[in-house]
Structure 1
Amino acid sequence: MTNIRDLAREAHVSVTTVSRVLNDHPYVADDKRQAVQAAIQKLGYIRNQTAVHLSTGQTHTIGVMLPFVDHPYHAAILQGIARCAFEEGYRFLTWQTNYVESHEHTVLKALAQREVDGLIIVSHSLSVDEILQYEQYGPIVFCEYHPHASSVYINHYTAFQKGLKALQSLHHTEIGICLGRPDSTNSLARKQAYQDTVSDDARPEWIYEQALTIEDGAHVARAWMNQSQRPTAILTASDHVAAGIILELREQGYRIPEDLAVIGFDGSDLAVVLNLTTVAVPYETIGRHAFSIAISDSWQQHPQTEIPTTLKNGTTASILCVK
């Protein structure tokens, strides 16, 4: 395998000159730079990136921890990270953890072992304090709000409040909500928004938990049908859950929004297809901002970047409640 000494002999220059050319050092004479580049092409030299990483202490690789790569929310953030990485000449490694703590520890050890320069954590099961113990090895950026960590986030309290107030503006008072993991930071903020906004009309039995997928949405719809007292409207935690509710109820002969008004959360392509009213979140923007922090020195000051959300109106919540 060709090495830099071979290049030096072929180009009739010193090893130091070859090294400077390989590292784009500005102070190299043009004729010598051209000689080295000609030697690289002639000998088919391929740079040993592992050796480069050992010499520079950087891999130009960012790690991404996320529970599921196929969930639209996570995939959209990953898209933002990927595009930014491409623009900046970085690679990224993705670890799917399924919220298994041992898998999350594996990702953190990769940072400690310098396999990546930094970590972007989309969602996690381990405690924040435990994760931040690894910050001594490099930047860690969360895609959710944590007051003592670098965070790019949406305010789930105010975002959920938008959806709830939209339903109230249509004269709904009997409102239910869907949550994902009940004890996650985001779900706790959403539940608090529900309790504060709906207030006396909030009911524990109208909080449908563990709702993440279309199938979960169908399960929520069946639970709603079996209740003696039903909410007239539901704000979901994702467009996919909303789609599951809508499709299942329509199959059973119910009308949307006449029998049940539904608002989604994400602003995904699915919302466009279903003409779904949804709280739209610019997830790709979250990914791009998280990546920018991870490769800069600003992470050491633990910046907090809030990304705004918007309500996009469709037809699934547009009928006024007459109760």
Structure 2
Amino acid sequence: MANIKDIARLAGVSVATVSRVLNDHPYVSEAKRAAVQEVVHRLNYSRNVNAVHLITGKTNMVGVVIPYLNLPYFNSIMEGIAQEALEANVHLLVSQTNYAADKETELLNMLKIKQIDGLLICSRSLEWEVIEAYSQFGPIIACEYIESDRISSVHIDHYGSFRLAMQLLLEKGHTRIGYCLGRGHSFNSRNRRRAFSDALSSAGVPVREEWMFYQIYSIEDGAEVVRSILDMEERPTALLVAGDQVAAGIISEAVKNGLRVPEDLAIVSFDNHPIAQLFDITTIDNRLVEIGRTAFSLLLKRLQDPASPVEHRELPFRLIERATV
């Protein structure tokens, strides 16, 4: 198998020149570059990537911790990450964890032993104190709010966005309001519930636990919410729904059962996916693709300049009023 010395001999150049060509160094004459590339092609030479990693200490690969690839919320964040990674010519190692702590730990240990250069965390089950201990081995970026001087983050104000949605419903005269969330105990879900409770308290309206639904992720989950509501003696007249796919399922099942939207059941959703426009759903744009793009740019900045400071960026959200309120 040919090595770099063989290429140098056949091309009539130094080993250093071959190295510069293979690493796309700019300071090589066109004639020498062409001679090296011709020999590389003739010998069908490929570099030993592991050896390059040992020499440079870099893999040109970053890890992504993502709970579920098939959920539109995380899929949109992943889209933003992938766009930036492609532009930067950085490879992604994506691990779907299903919120399993051991799967998250696997990626953290890969960072520790230098199999990846950095780590992006879309959402997680491990405590941040555990994750922070690994930041000494490479940059870690969170796609949610975190108070840390070791891990950078990008997020939106989930409390503020939920409070804005509640304000809209209250202004429309709704007081019998429920909500649909994913994980009830996550940081974002806790903030959303707090905003929900604070808004009702300010309006002098009690919280009705029977109108709160958790582990709601899909179109079918949304349909099941409607079936549950139909069995209630007293029903909510409005729902906050943490996801446009769920909202679409609610609307479809509501119409099927003779409920009018928004007259009988008003809906404010979140994320502003294409399905929200298709179903004309009032929604909060969470800037998910931009969260992914920003998270990767923060990681790339830390990779290029390890001395750069930790940053925490909050992106603005916006209410898009359509036909469901």
**TM-score where L is the length of structure 1:** 0.93
Q: State the shift of 1:4 in Å.
A: 0.5
Residue in 2 that maps onto 1:110: 110
Residue in 1 that maps onto 2:18: 18
Summarize the alignment of residues 218-257 of structure 1 with structure 2, pairs less than 5 Å apart.
Answer: 218-257=223-262
Summarize the alignment of residues 176-187 of structure 1 with structure 2, pairs less than 5 Å apart.
Answer: 176-187=178-189
SS in 2 for 1:271: helix
- Deviation track 1:178-223 (CA, whole Å, cap 9, x = no partner) reads 1110110000000010011121323222221121111221222122
Residue in 2 that maps onto 1:303: 311
Structure-2 separation of matches of 1:87 and 1:27: 23
SS in 1 for 2:125: coil
* Matched residue type, 2:95: W
* Matched residue type, 1:309: F
Structure-1 separation of matches of 2:146 and 2:166: 24
SS in 1 for 2:133: helix
Residue in 2 that maps onto 1:286: 291
Residue in 1 that maps onto 2:321: 313
Residue in 1 that maps onto 2:161: 159
Structure-1 separation of matches of 2:104 and 2:26: 42
Structure-2 separation of matches of 1:243 and 1:127: 33
Change (3 A) 1:38 1:310: same
* Matched residue type, 1:180: G
More moved, 138-147 vs 18-27:
18-27
- Deviation track 1:128-161 (CA, whole Å, cap 9, x = no partner) reads 1111111111111111000113111111001111
Q: State the shift of 1:114 in Å.
A: 1.4
Q: State the shift of 1:29 in Å.
A: 4.7
Residue in 2 that maps onto 1:70: 70
Structure-2 separation of matches of 1:154 and 1:138: 25
Structure-2 separation of matches of 1:196 and 1:163: 12
SS in 2 for 1:267: coil
More moved, 34-43 vs 244-253:
34-43
Structure-2 separation of matches of 1:214 and 1:30: 58
Structure-2 separation of matches of 1:262 and 1:80: 27
- Among the aligned pairs, what percent are the same residue? 45
Structure 2 unmatched runs, 5+ = none
Residue in 2 that maps onto 1:54: 54
- Deviation track 1:239-294 (CA, whole Å, cap 9, x = no partner) reads 11111211122111111111111111110111011111111122111001000111
Structure-1 separation of matches of 2:14 and 2:275: 61
**TM-score where L is the length of structure 2:** 0.93
Summarize the alignment of residues 21-32 of structure 1 with structure 2, pairs less than 5 Å apart.
Answer: 21-32=21-32
SS in 2 for 1:296: helix
More moved, 38-47 vs 185-194:
38-47
Summarize the alignment of residues 267-286 of structure 1 with structure 2, pairs less than 5 Å apart.
Answer: 267-286=272-291
1:142 and 2:142 matched:
yes
Match of 2:208 among 200, 203, 207: 203
Q: State the shift of 1:27 in Å.
A: 4.5
Aligned-residue RMSD, C-alpha: 1.6
Structure-1 separation of matches of 2:44 and 2:253: 61
Residue in 2 that maps onto 1:125: 125
Structure-1 separation of matches of 2:143 and 2:212: 25
Q: State the shift of 1:313 in Å.
A: 1.5
- Deviation track 1:63-87 (CA, whole Å, cap 9, x = no partner) reads 1111110100101111111110111
Residue in 1 that maps onto 2:174: 172
Q: State the shift of 1:31 in Å.
A: 4.0
Q: State the shift of 1:56 in Å.
A: 0.7
* Matched residue type, 2:257: Q
